[in-house]
């Protein structure tokens, strides 16, 4: 039986490098998206940070540049397809290629079915579902043309099991998960890989703002309570998610597509 020779990274001095790769990161101005931008730039990628807040994206880009990385900030509303297509085409015209798309833009919502208004439902859908669709829709023609590329969607453990008071949010992340699976299957012939990461609670500025707004004076108490819902005893960090993202977008993960990766401190398997 003849076996295909598989190339390896044995001769590389450093694994998980993204040298000469162009990466687009939605939600790149804060939280997990910002951490992914910093880690990707540190691995040699040319990073484009897309965020609704240009100020936040510019600050992250400045931090990356100060540390010797290559980054550019762009104001982007992922709910607006035509403006997103225009921006992606502009980036494509000024770079050699678009190699990586990370969909990190997203918003949260707390509420059960009967406490979720139509307005709140539509807002979650437009950002978390349509926003992911819009970004992939804008990027996929470029990946198809060059017959290579990686799409990574930031999902959530909310797509994998029933979380209390997360009706609309869980709906949106369930859609992200199934979009990941179908895109992986439909574009495999173009050598395009598509995976997702499903974090549990990650300590981002959003968590701190949420606690300050909803539990004034009891922030530390609630933070400790939320931390302990992960069997490992703490929340994850954006950097931990970013390093998993780096692996999945690197050549070392070239055999991985159509897969969802929980990063949850044991929440899914050890809490059930």
Average pLDDT of the chain is 94
10-residue mean pLDDT profile of the chain (272 residues): values are 49 80 98 98 98 98 98 98 98 94 95 97 98 98 98 97 94 98 98 98 89 89 91 96 98 98 94 68
What pLDDT digit, counting tens, does each position of 189-211 carry?
999 999 999 999 999 988 888 88
Catalytic residue among 86, 125, 169, 247: 169
The alpha carbons of the chain give a radius of gyration, in whole angstroms, of: 19
Burial annotation 211-248 (CB, 10 A radius, 16+ → b, else e): beeeeeeebeeebeebbeebeeeebbebebbbbbbbeb
**Domain annotation for the chain: domains and CATH numbers:** 22-201+238-270 (3.40.50.720)
pLDDT on residue 10: 46
3-state SS track over 64-131: HHHCCCEEEEEECCCCCHHHHHHHHHHHHHCCCCCCEEEECCCCCCCECHHHCCHHHHHHHHHHHHHH
Q: Please indicate whether residue 247 is annotated as part of the active site.
A: no
Structure confidence by residue, pLDDT tens digits, 224-237: 999 998 999 999 99
pTM comes to 0.93
Characterize the bridge pairing of strands 100-103 and 260-263.
unpaired
């Amino acid at each position: 039986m003849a076996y295909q020779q598989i190339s390896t990274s044995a001769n590389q001095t450093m694994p998980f490098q993204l040298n000469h790769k162009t990466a687009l990161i939605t939600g790149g101005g804060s939280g997990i998206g910002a951490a992914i931008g910093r880690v990707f730039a540190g691995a040699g990628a040319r990073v484009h940070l897309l965020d609704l807040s240009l100020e936040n994206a510019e600050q992250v880009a400045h931090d990356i540049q100060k540390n010797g990385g290559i980054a550019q900030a762009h104001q982007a509303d992922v709910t607006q397809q035509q403006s997103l297509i225009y921006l992606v085409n502009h980036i494509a015209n000024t770079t050699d290629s678009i190699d990586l798309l990370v969909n990190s833009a997203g918003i949260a919502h707390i509420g059960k079915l009967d406490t979720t208004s139509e307005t709140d439902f539509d807002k979650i859908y437009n950002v978390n579902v349509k926003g992911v669709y819009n970004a992939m829709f804008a990027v996929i023609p470029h990946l198809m043309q060059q017959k290579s590329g990686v799409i990574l969607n930031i999902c959530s453990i909310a797509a994998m099991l029933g979380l209390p008071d997360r009706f609309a949010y869980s709906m949106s992340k369930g859609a992200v998960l199934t979009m990941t699976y179908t895109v992986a299957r439909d574009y495999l012939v173009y050598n395009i890989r598509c995976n997702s990461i499903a974090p549990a609670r990650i300590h981002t500025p959003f968590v701190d703002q949420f606690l300050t707004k909803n539990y004034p004076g009891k922030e530390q108490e609630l933070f400790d309570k939320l931390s302990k819902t992960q069997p490992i005893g703490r929340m994850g960090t954006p950097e931990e998610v970013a390093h998993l993202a780096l692996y999945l977008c690197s050549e070392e993960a070239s055999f991985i597509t159509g897969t969802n990766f929980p990063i949850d401190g044991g929440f899914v398997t050890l809490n059930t």
